[in-house]
Amino acid sequence: MSLKDLLTADAILPALKVNSKKQALQELSDKAAQVSGIGAREIFDALLQRERLGSTGVGNGIAIPHGKLAKAGRIFAVFARLERPIDYEALDGAPVDLICLLIAPEAAGADHLKALARTARILRDPIVTARLRATRDAAALFTMLTQSPSSQHAA
């Protein structure tokens, strides 16, 4: 499973302006609602419920908020590059500026974990994250996130 299976070109927020974690999750929920047809409030509530278990800020300026919803027909993602970093209560205490939201069907099980692992693997690569931070172009961000891992270090 790659991000190509989860992310669509219209699910990219290339220069999101937010001032807080809650505001970021709200904006991501709104975008997720647009691409999925699921209610933004339902998505937002699922994300907040997950955040109560512990921050999805995984470190190095990256967060991977996620949740499961009965109405989700498949696993999907929304990616945001923030205009400026925000406090996200991340595990390393660093502010976050790259967020990849994942929503999965309630019955997704192992596929949900695979999607999380794949997303984390891509966003752990310092070359990839440097490139993501260096552009505000949605099409370029989409290409960087969805190209095959072997080609991520090319160019």
Looking at per-residue pLDDT, the higher value among 3 and 81 belongs to 81
How many Å apart are CA 146 and CA 63, to the nearest integer? 18
Residue 154 backbone dihedrals phi, psi, to 5 degrees: -75, 160
Per-residue model confidence (pLDDT) at position 2: 79
Q: Determine what percent of the chain is predicted with pLDDT higher than 90.
A: 90
pLDDT digits (tens, 9 = 90+) for 89-143: 999 999 999 999 999 999 998 999 999 999 999 999 999 999 999 999 999 999 9
Please name every residue paired with 63 in a beta bridge, in sequence order, or none if there are none: 57, 99
**CATH superfamily ID and name for 3-145:** Mannitol-specific EII; Chain A (3.40.930.10)
- On the question of pLDDT at 70 being above 70, the answer is yes
CA angle 133, 139, 143 (to 5 degrees): 75
Q: Which helix (H) or strand (E) holds 24?
A: helix 21-36
What pTM was estimated for this model as a whole? Answer: 0.94
Q: Which of 31, 56, 65, 66 is catalytic?
A: 66
CA angle 50, 65, 128 (to 5 degrees): 155
Asked whether the beta carbons of 97 and 137 are under 8 A apart, the reply is no
Pairing mode of beta strands 76-86, 66-69:
unpaired
What are the residue ranges of helices labelled H in 37-137? 40-53, 110-123, 126-133
Cβ neighbour number for residue 149 with a 10 Å cutoff: 12
What 3-state DSSP class applies to 62? Answer: strand
Q: Residue ranges per domain, the chain?
A: 3-145
Locate 126 and state its tokens: 């310092």
pLDDT digits (tens, 9 = 90+) for 43-58: 999 999 999 999 999 9
Of 145, 153, 146, the residue nearest 62 (C-alpha)? 145
- On the question of pLDDT at 65 being above 60, the answer is yes
Q: Verify whether residue 66 is a known catalytic residue.
A: yes
